Amino acid sequence: MFDYNTRAAKFKFQGEVIVPGDKSIAHRAITFGALADGVTQISNFSYSDDLAVTTKIFKELGAKIHTEMSNNDMIIKGVSHQFKPLDHPLDIDNVGTLESLLLGVLTTSNNEYTINGGDFLKKRSIDRLVVLLQQMGANFQKLSADYLPIKMHGSEELEGITYQQDISSAQIKSGLVMAGIYAKTPTTIIRKLPTRDHTEVLANYFGADVDAKPDIITINPKHTHLTGQSLMIPGDFSSAAPYIAGALLSKGSEIRLPKVGLNSTRIGLLNVAQQMGANIILESHSINSVEPYGDLVIKSKKLHGTTVTAKQVPFIVDEIPLIALLASQAEGQTVIEGVHDVHLQLSDRIRNMRVELAKLGIIMQVNDDSIVINGEQSIKVKDDVDSHNDHRIAMMLCVASILTETSFKIKNIESIDISYPNFLADFKKVLVACD
């Protein structure tokens, strides 16, 4: 475990940062590339702890994967839906996205697999997805009192189901899409609210037939034959988010973020910031790629409070800590509504965010279905803080550190390596001490 001592000065952002390739898209690109027939070439692939686990898992299942670290390229020779049987467990560590994708993928195989995970995933419920996959024809057996490890035996004779969403979960939806594309009959997901759509986008790009509408998704499995593709992964919006928030909050800042992914289901923070009066310029917007991207220019701006509606919440799940920080420094009150589903999926993140911001003198009210944050709160360091091994909280605390002249320690800073190993180096490069 590593700690990080912040500097006893206020800073602003000046310059340009190229953020790593989008992790959410990369997980899915590896999955589809490994599952498909033929070769998949991925450019702007950025290695991180999470993606190293996903790569390892699909290598174990038989895919040939080569990574060119010098130019961030990856080449995958897929298995054409013929995964290897294994005599050892697949250890997915604490990679939640991989858990959902893998459960869906392996449901379509006649082989038996055991999936194990780290301490976090062992305590996180997968019951909703498991029940749905059982309804399609897979068998699961718990091997301990925890949710993982679990033994599963899939089937090549899966039947599609109709699922009326009870929570707005992109991960549950992704697991069903992965299973549904190889079922014998269509699978229908009746949405509670729209969520991230990377799985549907890439499924269709690789050759599946997923009809995604705002209120309903239909996975049509007939004649599915996934084939290898070439794609460029845009910059990760969630990795760009700390710079966006920091530049808005630190007076005199101006920063440029080239080729950031602008998928409409991922840029919830951008929309919330603009509701709060943010000055953000979009340049060089590309809409002809698999996933849209563009250059963002952010300048500091005094923000005002806003109401974040329940419909917006699925698009800010990664950025809630940063939005809480933005709200605490804005004029007036900010209310984030409809967070009940997020509570179910990310209860630790919300609780830990509140605890750690309180150590910096920032208070908020967290209810079962809303978060209320009063603005213009002064940052008053009362104690050192802890990431709780949550990379999103760690990066938010780094942003908070540039807004105060009081230094403090961020414990377990290495959690950032999960998604953005070079974050601290990139962060420091664009910091300029305030006059």
| Residue 96 assigned ligand-binding role | yes
pLDDT digits (tens, 9 = 90+) for 157-197: 999 999 999 888 889 999 999 999 999 999 999 998 888 89
Give CA–CA dist 35/84, Å, rounded: 12
Q: In this structure, are strands 187-190 and 162-164 parallel, antiparallel, or unpaired?
A: parallel
Give CA–CA dist 5/420, Å, rounded: 19
Question: Is 318 an active-site residue?
Answer: yes
Residue 346 scores a pLDDT above 80: no
Does 110 lie in the same domain as 12? no
In this prediction, residue 412 carries a pLDDT of: 95
Categorize the per-residue pLDDT at 343 as very low, low, confident or very high, splitting at 50, 70 and 90.
low
Residue 150 scores a pLDDT above 80: yes
pLDDT digits (tens, 9 = 90+) for 102-135: 999 999 999 999 999 999 899 888 999 999 999 9
pLDDT digits (tens, 9 = 90+) for 358-383: 999 999 999 888 999 999 999 999 99
Categorize the per-residue pLDDT at 341 as very low, low, confident or very high, splitting at 50, 70 and 90.
confident
Which domain covers residue 149, as residue numbers? 23-232
Does 240 lie in the same domain as 181? no
| Residue 253 assigned ligand-binding role | no
| Residue 383 assigned ligand-binding role | no
In this prediction, residue 183 carries a pLDDT of: 95
Does 334 lie in the same domain as 256? yes
Does 196 lie in the same domain as 275? no
pLDDT digits (tens, 9 = 90+) for 275-299: 999 989 999 888 778 999 999 999 9
Residue 60 belongs to domain with CATH number: 3.65.10.10
| Residue 46 assigned ligand-binding role | no
Average pLDDT, the chain: 94
Categorize the per-residue pLDDT at 331 as very low, low, confident or very high, splitting at 50, 70 and 90.
very high
Does 157 lie in the same domain as 40? yes
In this prediction, residue 51 carries a pLDDT of: 94
Q: Range with the lowest mean pLDDT among 27-31, 124-128, 342-346?
A: 342-346
| Residue 392 assigned ligand-binding role | yes
In this prediction, residue 1 carries a pLDDT of: 64
The percent of residues above 70 in pLDDT, for the chain, comes to: 99
Does 162 lie in the same domain as 251? no
Any idea of the CA torsion for 233, 342, 123, 107, to the nearest 10 degrees? -50
In this prediction, residue 347 carries a pLDDT of: 67
| Residue 256 assigned ligand-binding role | no
| Residue 318 assigned ligand-binding role | yes
In this prediction, residue 344 carries a pLDDT of: 62
Does 132 lie in the same domain as 9? no
Maximum CA pair distance of the chain? 67
- DSSP secondary structure of 347-364: HHHHHHHHHHHHTTT---
**Cβ-based burial of 262 (10 A; exposed 0-12, middle 13-18, buried ≥19):** buried
In this prediction, residue 181 carries a pLDDT of: 96
In this prediction, residue 17 carries a pLDDT of: 97
From 22, 197, 236, 318, the catalytic residue: 318
Give CA–CA dist 398/302, Å, rounded: 20
Residue 208 scores a pLDDT above 90: yes
| Residue 351 assigned ligand-binding role | no
Q: How many structural domains comprise the chain? A: 2
Does 375 lie in the same domain as 280? yes
Which contiguous run of DSSP H or E holds residue 258? strand 254-261
| Residue 365 assigned ligand-binding role | no
In this prediction, residue 47 carries a pLDDT of: 85
Does 366 lie in the same domain as 325? yes
Does 290 lie in the same domain as 181? no
More confident: 221 or 70: 221
Categorize the per-residue pLDDT at 324 as very low, low, confident or very high, splitting at 50, 70 and 90.
very high
Distances (CA, A) of 285 to 258, 282, 296, 315: 10, 7, 9, 20
Q: Which of 214, 232, 250 is the last residue of a domain?
A: 232
Q: Which of 232, 252, 287 is the last residue of a domain?
A: 232
Does 381 lie in the same domain as 295? yes
In this prediction, residue 289 carries a pLDDT of: 83
List, in order, residues 6 or more apart from 125 with CB less than 8 Å away.
147
